[in-house]
Chain A
Amino acid sequence: MKNGYKFLDHPADIGIEAIGETVADAFIHSAYGLISVIVDDSTIEPHIPMHIQIDAEDKEHLLVKWLSEILYLYDGKKYLPSKIKINSIDDISLDAEIKGEYFSDSKHKTKTDVKAVTYHQILIQEEKGKCLIRVYLDI
């Protein structure tokens, strides 16, 4: 598993399995997984900071909102995250600092349009010193 995530097969789409020592790490890795579905992530540089604050009703909702936010930053703001740091996270809120840059046709190579983040078979499993996330994307 490279960079803390791997892709999962789905009949029409794609899933991400992310692992981290903490929930925060697993959330970060799932976001890196999403970004690498959208673009060649090796071309993104951490120039411009962005702050994200999310409130949710439960942890699955938080994960879907978190990844939907990353997707919106790209598809709505044309901003690609490169380095992510989660300042604080619990079951219903998350605060993160991101560094990345705005999308440029000449610099970044897009791979796949992601439509949305789904609740399909969503999983956040926490065990001692390990957190496993599974989430599917509609593409």
Chain B
Amino acid sequence: MIKKIDEYRYLVPKTSKAGMKIDGLIYANDRLIKQIEKDQTVDQVANVATLPGFVGKSLAMPDAHQGYGFCIGGVAAADIEDGVVSAGGVGFDINCGVRLLRSPFEKKDIISKLDELLNQLFKDIPCGTGRKGKLSAGKSELNKVLQQGVEWAVKNDYGNEEDIYKIEECGKIERADESLVSSRAKERGHDQLGTLGSGNHFLEIQVVAEIYDDIAARCFSLYKDQVVVLIHSGSRGLGHQVCTDYLDVMQSGMKKYKIDVSDRQLASVPIKSIEGQNYLKAMAASANFVFANRQMITHWTRDVFKKIIGSGDLKIVYDICHNIAKFEEHEVDGSLKSLLVHRKGATRAFPKKHPVLPDEYKSVGQPVLIPGSMGTCSYVLVGTENAMKETFGSSCHGAGRSKSRTQAKKETDADELLREMKSRGILVRGETKSGLSEENPNAYKDVSEVVEVVHGAGIAKKVAKLVPLAVMKG
């Protein structure tokens, strides 16, 4: 089914499956493609290529693995004139994403207080399964969060104006309409505001271990030995319910618009239809909820640093979405088109001079934040022109699972894992041992290998490597 094009690219020709309207393209090296072929990723790339109005190629990043409908690590774009929007193309965890904070400290400044820092973070930032937030938003307040995102958070003293400009969409997707978010979704989300969640979500205190691109690193104010904080969080029950609700709307919509898909999880409706527009407005509201969430976690992280280290001067490097559909303009077959880009477990990776970037970053490009699996390493990359040409300005989003949670749990002794990380100087606090076992780095692909493919293919370029000092797991 797949054909190797070069060292980093594998083609899924449109002849490989009935109904494919465009080719598929998978970014991988020889080793990663073998892992990718083990599950249904390739088939899912092909299924996406059958959707109406999709243009360019159905893409999978090197961290790709089997998902629902779209693979995780999938990127595909629909022409807004005749294309469809798929709730499954964004996924249940709308705007799951990462935020990187930089500190004025070096490792030596905090190392003696690391244990205290981690314990205080664990105390002050709600995390774990179903754990409630510190505040339960009333209905009208939650509606404001959904409409305003980070703007609401800043108005309520969870940050400052300067923060807003370092967040994708400035932390607020304007299209949001809270009235299109069901009361069920609001019920699931109202007491989860400002919570980290569980699963693969985390907060890590890290240190910059290596700089690959001096100019970009300087532009992002990153330097060797600097302490940074990486926050990975998602939309909690609110976003999950929005996706569930609109998958249902789209199931019925498919009959109305005579759309046939090979997998019900790919349920889609025309972008211009009322159902499609409503979904995109509800999705935007969910995304705003998440931006506000990460802003509150940022605020409490600053408070903890102030309390323990004496200064909470943590500045946002950037905040990016992993699961989102965005209206963007891209060149397809030589002409500029207005597209809806679905990124499901993928990040935007825009190049220098792009108008949506913060002014400070226009000379180098957008920071692309790639969290690694627990206790390994993470990367900062920068977006490229080549990503605009090949991937609708997109790149990978992390390591990507290679083993199931059940298998990881079976193979992992949580105590041994903790001891092993401690021996490497990494402190870990987790809600449960089983949660830690599921996130054993052995259950993931090697994030460095994933990043090498992205760098080698030129769809983002390496800027810095970050290694963990302390990990807080949900």
Contact = CB atoms under 8 A, between A and B. Distances in A.
Interface residues of B, number: 40
A9 B188 contact: no
Given A76-B241, A110-B129, A118 B265 contact: yes
Contacts of A101: none
B184 interface: yes
26 contacts: A9-B407, A10-B404, A11-B39, A11-B65, A12-B65, A12-B401, A14-B404, A61-B248, A65-B248, A68-B244, A72-B241, A75-B130, A75-B237, A75-B241, A76-B184, A76-B188, A103-B130, A111-B434, A112-B129, A113-B129, A113-B199, A116-B92, A116-B241, A119-B247, A119-B263, A139-B199
B93 interface: yes
Given A14-B406, A110-B129, A77 B187 contact: yes
Interface of B: 39, 65-69, 72, 91-93, 128-130, 184, 187-188, 197-199, 237, 240-241, 243-244, 247-248, 251-252, 263-265, 401-407, 432, 434
Interface string A25-36: 000000000000
A119 B401 contact: no
A118 B66 CA distance: 13
A43 to B, nearest CB: 14
A14 B187 contact: no
A126 interface: no
Contacts of A122: 264
A11 B66 contact: yes
B129 A14 contact: no
B405 A116 contact: no
Question: Which 9 pairs across A and B sit closest by C-beta, in order of nearness?
Answer: A119-B264, A76-B187, A110-B129, A115-B240, A115-B92, A9-B404, A75-B237, A116-B92, A75-B188
B407 to A, nearest CB: 6
Nearest to B65: A11
Contacts of A38: 130
Nearest to B244: A116
A14 B405 contact: yes
B80 to A, nearest CB: 26
A13 interface: yes
Contacts of B92: 115-116, 138
Contacts of B248: 61, 65
Contacts of A139: 199, 405
A11 to B, nearest CB: 5
A120 interface: yes
A122 B243 CA distance: 18
A14 B197 CA distance: 18
